[in-house]
Amino acid sequence: MNHAYGLTFNYFKYKTKLGFYLLGLLVSFSPPIFAQGIEDSKNMKLEGYSDLQGRTAYQPTIEKQGDRWIAYIGHHGDKKLNHLSGKVEDNGTSIIDVTNPKKPVYLHHIPGQEGKAERGGSQMVRICSGASLPKGDKSKFYMLRVFGNQAHEIWDVTKPEAPTLLTTIIKGLKDTHKNFWECDTGIAYLVSGNPQWRTTRMTQVYDLSDPTNPVFIRDFGLVGQQPGAGGSVPTQLHGVISTGPKGNRVYFGYGTNNEGIIQIIDRDKLLNGPKDPTPENLLLPQIARLDLPAMHGAHTTFPMFDVDIPEFAKNHLGRKRDFIVVTDEAIQKECLEGRQMVWFVDSTNEKKPFGVSSWTVPEKSGNFCSKGGRFGTHSSNENMTDVFYKKLMFFAHFNAGVRVLDVRNPFSPVEVAYFVPAINKNTVVLESPPGSKTDPLPYTEASNKKAIQTNNVEVDDRGLIYIVDRANTGMHILSLTGKAREIADWKAAIK
């Protein structure tokens, strides 16, 4: 575990030469919370780093392309200098060669929509190889990305240094977000804001098996979100994860930090059932709906199937169980909301899912509520690589960095590693989300502190971990060490 004591002492030892001896003596014994710019870690080490041109980052996706490993990073909206083109460009998609994780090479930046934060950029990106897509060119690689809140696009990224736009799937939307693309079938679940629907985010299902010829399948959402419905509108969709035709399930997460809903859907009925968005047709593929407590959401819904629970080895029933790992999203600074955290839902009986455990970083372990920025979870890894699946999961935890849980027993998850990066010259203070007009939130000076805001995390099939920062700090490439490393299945790692 790396702490701040040594650095603060050395810093003020230097200052004593300038006559600040007494001040240095006092600060050298301060706890780590007062020393900005210090990384903290347990059972993780830094392998490499990219500043992402100082862009605020969202989803990373890592793909093996021939002999190279390429990272595609989606960005929230802003404007930054692209040092490759020499131009100031609207944040979009960064493409980085991470074949050698110790020396990432920035290859290209594709501009996104003009606008700040989630009002612009190109935050969501997915990659499929033509070799895996049923009707794709076997020699090519394809990128599905959002264009701000307006559109969904497909790019040819066979040459990551020179991507080309193939087609715009749909445009004229009022919002987009966390898409999912089945590479083995080409079915894509696009989180969209269809202007005809009553919600800002719902699902548009497309067949992208031929990336040059998108085929619309249907619109989908919760009853009450469809055109012409009456009454209150259920909370908006946030993200989708599909298990493909083999698992025949799609998991929808609605809400972020409040009024969350988890929906388990029969994939076959979703794709092949009646498409007209009547209440009856929207409910037809639904296996179960679990409404979360009012102050919690469902940002990421990650399934884990056939988990062997050793504690139940002698029980007649229930040794193997299915779970959905649900991650909320923290929104407010200074903990001015309910704690957003990780929830383990037992879905063995799909029609009756129920929560069995939860996990959060102890706030006192870093005085996180007053450290600056958001504190709480945001998302988990989504790659189900055999290196980690059903063994370890990785959670972006804003100012608490990335946290690693041993999930072999989801009834009792245990943290085994973490990495909190140091802030740097690019780190900014995020704007505070608005409070209620009738009940303004009581922000203090802590809301003006610069802080790490680890926003998203992903892993690759080599077993490397990638974290990106919402506050412009960049991308850190990490590996496991110690006891945490021993849990992973390194025989499954691709070299």
Distance CA 171, CA 100 (A): 37
Nearest to 398 by CA among 368, 426, 433, 365: 368
Distance CA 395, CA 238 (A): 17
pLDDT digits (tens, 9 = 90+) for 472-483: 999 999 999 999
Distance CA 54, CA 11 (A): 26
Domain 46-492 adopts which CATH fold?
A: Methylamine Dehydrogenase; Chain H (2.130.10)
Residue 106: strand, helix, or coil? strand
Distance CA 389, CA 382 (A): 10
Residue 416: strand, helix, or coil? strand
Distance CA 488, CA 495 (A): 15
Residues in the chain, total: 495
Q: What is the DSSP string of 305-330?
A: EEEE-GGGTTSSS-SEEEEEEEE---
Q: For the chain, which residues make up each domain, given as ranges?
A: 1-35, 46-492
Between the alpha carbon of residue 237 and those of residues 203, 210, 261, the distances in Å are 8, 26, 9
Q: What is the DSSP string of 26-42?
A: HHTTS-GGG-TT--EEE
pLDDT of residue 37: 63
Which tokens go with 425? Answer: 């010259």
Name the residue type at position 255: G
Distance CA 479, CA 293 (A): 35
Residues 6+ apart with CB under 8 A from 178: 59, 124, 191, 238, 239, 240, 299
Half-sphere exposure of 197 (CA within 13 A, CB side): 31
Which tokens go with 478? Answer: 């990490």
Distance CA 208, CA 215 (A): 7
pLDDT digits (tens, 9 = 90+) for 106-128: 999 999 999 998 889 999 999 99
Report helix, strand and coil shares of the chain as percent, to nearest 5. Answer: 15, 40, 45
Distance CA 86, CA 264 (A): 47
pLDDT of residue 433: 83
pLDDT of residue 340: 96
Half-sphere exposure of 487 (CA within 13 A, CB side): 23
Distance CA 127, CA 141 (A): 7
In contact, 180 and 242? CB cutoff 8 Å = yes
In contact, 343 and 398? CB cutoff 8 Å = no
CB burial of 250-266 (b: ≥16 within 10 Å; e: otherwise) equals bbbbbbbbbbbbbbbbb
Helical ranges in 334-457 per DSSP H:
none
Give me the phi and psi of 6, to 5 degrees please. Answer: -60, -45
Nearest to 60 by CA among 381, 403, 374: 381
The tens-digit pLDDT sequence of the chain (495 residues) is 443 333 333 333 333 333 333 333 333 332 333 334 679 999 999 999 999 999 999 999 999 999 999 999 999 999 999 999 999 999 999 999 999 999 999 999 999 999 998 889 999 999 999 999 999 999 999 999 999 999 999 999 999 999 999 999 999 999 999 999 999 999 999 999 999 999 999 999 999 999 999 999 999 999 999 999 999 999 999 999 999 999 999 999 999 888 999 999 999 999 999 999 999 999 999 999 999 999 999 999 999 999 999 999 999 999 999 999 999 999 999 999 999 999 999 999 999 999 999 999 999 999 999 999 999 999 999 999 999 999 999 999 999 999 999 999 999 999 999 999 999 999 999 988 887 667 889 999 999 999 999 999 999 999 999 999 999 999 999 999 999 999 999 999 998
In contact, 475 and 52? CB cutoff 8 Å = yes
In this prediction the pTM is 0.92
CA 13 to chain centre: 41
pLDDT of residue 287: 98
Nearest to 132 by CA among 212, 208, 47, 42: 208
Between the alpha carbon of residue 142 and those of residues 57, 137, 362, the distances in Å are 21, 9, 41
Distance CA 76, CA 468 (A): 12
